[in-house]
Structure 1
């Protein structure tokens, strides 16, 4: 139990809300039950039309560490999180979804583990809509470990914002959050070249999967309408993402910069030779490019083969 507030730097919890009244109380209760003694809670509401604001205001009346930022327009979850992060005064920042539940020691354990890394993240228990564990954790489905190369986050990111603690000095230097990828992917990618990413296996959050977030859930399935939408935009988004990642990667990381430059070239190019070069590049660097995927060697090779006909 952490009790002496003077020994611990301020940590900002940024809770982004939007029409989250159904599950919000569970999350707020778990945040307020953290044993870390020096917190501020910044709630940024994205123009909710349900009882979300009323719920947060009722908690604010009893807890002075809560501040509320109300948006008059709906700006989307990425910019909603960005708004809260820009206001964070803490030395560290923890991102908070509106529908999960945190372990009482989540913040304290992440704080103790971050060291000199840009961010640290932990494992989470996957739950159904009623917050009942479904028998697996995120680490059962994806490869959770320390990451230190931008190539390891360039194709897939399986580090989720709700599980992160982020060094604020680093965070304030990566605005604006691009809107072509989730904010936590941008944070994870940029963290690899600003101190690295540390992982601890502790299960510190219960991650609720339900109809409003299943598209983003680990192992979740898209419905047909989402499949059509994703298919139309996937190539353009992948091209823009790789170009963005290439531009951000510092030149002193010579190998990583070279690989990202070739990825950028082969993602934008066309023709059989271009596609063959893209596939060969994936085979050569598959251990880094597929570092987040928990797959057998055979399945990794099959994925590389698929890169001859499409980009991801």
Structure 2
């Protein structure tokens, strides 16, 4: 490909409260040569009017019109399938990006690609967790959740926990292709599934240990910011149904990718937690 193209994939659904603020943060990026591709999943509020407004006044804002995908994960997969580009950012409708997010993530991507040829690469960053008014609750999503990306470096280890949040990701085209070869109805968490696919393809998942966006938490989040408090025994006992549901969803995705047995899954979760305990 002669010209490297950058796509920002934005999935929306009833997001009028915060959508404009997110879009404006994209247009405030230090990198300007990119295109936003957005698909709305059947909003009943003022979301579509906001999207139409930007599409009318911005040449690099493209609204794709096709049927509802019935959920955020399917919506992001549908965008990834339909859009052709060299690099892909994922944007949630309710966050705010720092002005250097794209520049830093793309810079790391290009640095990695210098020493790898046609290899799947996923770059991700940390994020500031905020309340709905963007007041910082935690300066680090990874610290808040107790995540240690340094212990999750291959397909086996990555089963321990899905540490990459979709809105922090940047993929190259080889990473996209590794996902589309494997996509399945069992891929109920698009960010976790994409990460697993990149690892399965012997690709690189590169964390940037810097918070480059504001990850807004409010009552309407599809998935909220996980807290390490949730990993404590009393929380798990109190919310056993939710914990089991999340683990089973992850296990189904792993099985769809040929991961192996439940015992292997539990082994690597135990190994990961042991390493985390020693690191804190």
Q: Report the TM-score, using the length of structure 2 for normalisation.
A: 0.80
Residue by residue over 1:60-87, the C-alpha shift from the partner in whole angstroms, topping out at 9 and shown as x without a partner, is: 1111111112344461111111111112
Distance, in Å, in 2 between the alignment partners of 1:59 and 1:236 is 39
Cα distance, 1:86–1:215 mapped onto 2, change above 3 Å: closer
Quick one: structure 1 residues 167 and 298, their matched pair in 2 at CA, closer, same or farther if it must change by over 3 Å? closer
- Equivalent of 1:95, from 69, 90, 95? 90
* Equivalent residue number for residue 73 of structure 2: 78
Question: Which ranges of structure 1 fall in alignment gaps of 5 or more residues?
Answer: 1-6, 250-256, 268-277, 300-312
Against the structure 1 CA distance between its residues 214 and 18, is the aligned structure 2 distance closer, same or farther, given a 3 Å change threshold?
closer
Q: Could you give the per-residue CA deviations for residues 18-73 of structure 1, whole angstroms, max 9, x where no partner exists?
A: 00000001000011122223211111100100000100111111111111123444
Decide whether the 8 Å contact of 1:177 with 1:186 is kept in 2.
no
Q: 2:116 is matched with which residue?
A: none
Indicate whether 1:242 and 2:245 are aligned. Answer: no
What is the alpha-carbon distance in structure 2 between the residues aligned to residue 177 and residue 122 of structure 1? Answer: 26
Residue 140 of structure 2 corresponds to residue 145 of structure 1: no
Flag the structure with more relative contact order, 1 or 2, with Cα contacts below 8 A and sequence separation at least 6. 2
Q: Which residue of 1 aligns with 2:193?
A: 186
Alpha-carbon offset, residue 231 of structure 1: 5.2
Partners of 2:33 and 2:163 lie apart in 1 by 29
Structure 2: gaps of 5 or more residues:
114-119, 231-235
- 2:133 corresponds to which of 105, 130, 142: 130
In the TM superposition, what is the alpha-carbon distance from 1:246 to its structure 2 partner? 4.1
Equivalent in the alignment of 2:216: 208
- 1:230-309 matches, within 5 Å, as 235=244, 238-239=247-248, 241-242=250-251, 244-249=253-258, 260-261=260-261, 263=263, 281=267, 286-287=270-271, 289-290=272-273, 295-297=276-278
What's the secondary structure of 2:80's corresponding residue? Answer: helix
- What's the secondary structure of 2:99's corresponding residue? coil
1:118 to 118, 121, 136: 121
1:46, 1:70 within 8 Å by CA — same for their partners in 2? no
Q: Which residue of 2 aligns with 1:27?
A: 22
- The answer to whether the 8 Å contact 2:36/2:60 transfers is yes
Deviates more, 1:28-37 or 1:42-51: 28-37
Map of 2:206 onto structure 1: 198
The alignment covers a number of residue pairs equal to 261
TM-fit CA distance, 1:17: 0.2
Question: What is the match of residue 226 of structure 2?
Answer: 218
Deviation at 1:201, TM superposition (A): 1.5
SS in 2 for 1:185: helix
Offset of residue 149 of structure 1: 1.2
CA shift in 2, pair 1:207/1:235, >3 Å: closer
1:143 match: secondary structure: coil
1:46 pairs with 2:41: yes
Q: Compared with structure 1, are the counterparts of its residues 290 and 44 closer, same or farther at alpha carbon in structure 2 (3 Å cutoff)?
A: farther
Aligned-pair RMSD on alpha carbons? 3.2
Hey, what does 1:105 align to over in structure 2?
100
TM-score by length of 1: 0.73
Q: For residue 172 of structure 2, what is the aligned residue in structure 1?
A: 167
**Alpha-carbon spacing, 1:112–1:52, altered in 2? closer, same or farther (3 Å):** same
